[in-house]
Amino acid sequence: MQNPINLSKECPLFPLTVNVLPGGYLPLQIFEPRYLDMIKQCFNQETGFCVVLLQPNKFETKDKENYPHHYLIGTYVEIVDFNQLENGLLGITVKGKFRAEVLDRRRKDDGLIVGNVIEMGEEEESVSLEPKYKNIWSMLKQISKHPEIKKLNLEINYNCSSSVIYNLASLLPLTPPERQGILESKSNISRLDHINQLVKKWGG
C-alpha cells in the first residue's frame, strides 16, 4: 500500500449531495461567491479541491462545530473542463484523482470550508484471477465498448485492480451512499465484494 500523502492544510472542501470516485467525472454548476472564488483559485494555482458527500437526511443541519454533516472521506478532484451555461452560471467538469481523508477543518471568512487533507494510499492485490471476481473485469470490458462510453476516453488499466474497481463503479448506476461505501472500504477485496453484492441485488 502507498503511504498517505499530505495534500494541504488549506485544501478547499465542497460538500455535495452527490459524490465521485477516482477516475470518474462529475459536472457541476457553480453560483455561490465562495465557490466561484474557490474555482478561480484552483485555476490560478493549478490545484484541485476535495468533494465530500453530505450525510443523508442531514443536508440542512450542522454538527456541534457548526459544519455541515458530511463524510470525512471523499475524493480529490481536478477541473478538466468549464463553460458558461445557458442559465448564465459557470459550469465545470471535474475528474476524481484519488481518495482523500479530511483530518480537520476550518471556515474562512467568506464561508468556504478548508481542511487538512491527506491522500489515502491504495493497495494492489492480485485479485483479478480469482474466479469470483472475473465477472467484474468482464463487465467493465463489455460496458467500455459502448459508443457513448468510448467518448469518455476512460483511462482503464486492466492490470490494476483499483483502476478496474473505480472505473466500473463510476459507470454503474450507484447511489451516492453506495459510492461512499466503496470510498470507505479498507481494501480492494472489500470493494470487489461490495460491487458483486450490488450486481446480485440488481439480478445480474
Give the model confidence (pLDDT) of 88-121 as tens digits: 899 999 999 999 999 999 999 999 999 999 999 7
Q: How far apart are CA 79 and CA 167, in angstroms?
A: 18
Residues 17, 60 contacting (CB under 8 angstroms): no
Q: Rg of the chain's alpha carbons, rounded to an integer? A: 18
Domain segments of the chain: what residues? Answer: 5-119, 131-201
Structure confidence by residue, pLDDT tens digits, 165-183: 999 999 999 999 999 999 9
Q: How far apart are CA 104 and CA 108, in angstroms?
A: 13
Which residues contact residue 183 at a Cβ distance below 8 angstroms, ignoring those fewer than 6 apart? 19, 21, 71, 73, 74, 75, 99
pLDDT at 5 over 50: no
Q: Which CATH class is domain 5-119?
A: mainly beta
34 or 58, greater pLDDT: 34
Structure confidence by residue, pLDDT tens digits, 9-35: 689 999 999 999 999 999 999 999 999
Which residues contact residue 157 at a Cβ distance below 8 angstroms, ignoring those fewer than 6 apart? 163, 164
